Structure formats: C-alpha cells, structure tokens
C-alpha cells in the first residue's frame, strides 16, 4: 500500500492529554507511559475494523489503576504572541496574516495550498478554475474563442486587437 500520512492531521485540534503509567495488554506486560488525548477523534467503521486487526493481541480486560496518578497535561500556547509553542507551526505575533502571501497565518499555521492566499509556487488558491493542488485547471489558449481580429506584426508576432489594458491604479485612486 503506497500511502502518505501527515501525522499532524491525526492530532486533535483542541490541546490537552491525559498521562498515566500502565502496562501492556499482553505478555510481558511491561510498564509504559501512556498518553490519551482529551478530545476524542472520530473514525469510520472501516478504520475501527483495521484497528481491531492490528490490536488482536489484547489479552486482558481493563485493569484497576491501583492508585497510579492520572495527570492532565494542557498546552497553554497562545497563537499571536510571537512564540512558537505547542502545536503551532509558526507565530509572528501581529505579523500573522490571512491575506499576505508567504507568511504565518492567523491560526499559527504555515502558508499552504488551500488557505485562500496565493503563495510562492502556487498558480492560484481558492479562485475559479483552481485545482486542489493550486494549479490552474485549464490552459488559457484552449479556453479562449478563436480570435478573428489577429494581425501579424513585422517581427512575426501575433497581435490580438481585442486585448484591453486597464490601469486599475488610476481607477482606484479617484
């Protein structure tokens, strides 16, 4: 099976986990540190079946805690404070932006295809004819109707007489 998985996609969006020491469910029953996310994640019936196949060696039922402490761990990261902490990918403080290209987003995530901002290496992002991989879905030449107002210049280039150039700077400055 050729599968690419981003481990960050498996993490819950809410911070917090429980920690305790416990043993394996099968021989040799060695003690381990266990971490359980406080926010449950949903899985499909198919995923549950696959998990059960992997966990076939579960040889015993739930055991008593025997006074072992369970500690609640909470990440106190604050997006926008300029410190990269917890599950933040970046944090530029007040320079985080959901509009500027190639910068940390306001949710403390790195710029990526699908965030609605065209960044370096993307042909588009969230615009019509934009694919999920941030490339244009159509070739411009194939989508344009055949132009009957084309002339050939003295250097051999085709000149399209239907192209209209608009100076938006002068329009918006009025």
Is 162 inside a domain boundary?
A: no
Q: How many CB atoms lie within 10 A of CB 103?
A: 17
SS3 22: strand
68, part of any domain: yes
Mean pLDDT by 10 residues, the chain (174 residues): 75 79 81 84 85 75 83 82 87 95 94 92 89 80 47 50 55 54
Indicate the residue among 73, 107, 123 that finishes a domain: 73
Residue 58 CA to residue 24 CA, distance in Å, equals: 9
Distance CA 105, CA 79 (A): 10
- pLDDT per residue over 46-74, tens digit each? 888 888 887 776 667 777 888 888 888 87
Does some domain include residue 148? no
Q: C-alpha angle 161/165/168, rounded to 5°?
A: 165
Domain count, the chain: 2
């Amino acid at each position: 099976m050729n599968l690419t998985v981003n481990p960050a996609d498996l993490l819950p969006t809410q911070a917090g986990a429980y920690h305790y020491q416990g043993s394996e469910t099968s021989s040799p029953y060695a003690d381990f540190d266990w971490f359980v996310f406080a926010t449950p994640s949903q899985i499909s019936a198919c995923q549950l079946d696959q998990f059960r196949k992997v966990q076939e060696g579960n040889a015993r039922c739930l055991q008593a805690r025997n006074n072992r402490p369970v500690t609640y761990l909470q990440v106190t990261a604050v997006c926008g404070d300029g410190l990269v902490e917890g599950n933040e990918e970046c944090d530029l403080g007040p320079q985080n932006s959901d509009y500027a290209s190639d910068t940390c987003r306001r949710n403390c995530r790195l710029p990526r295809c699908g965030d609605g901002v065209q960044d370096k290496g993307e042909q588009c992002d969230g615009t019509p004819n934009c694919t999920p991989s941030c490339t244009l879905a159509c070739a411009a030449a194939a989508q344009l109707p055949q132009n009957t107002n084309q002339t050939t210049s003295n250097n051999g280039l085709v000149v399209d007489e239907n192209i209209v150039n608009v100076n938006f700077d002068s329009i918006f400055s009025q």
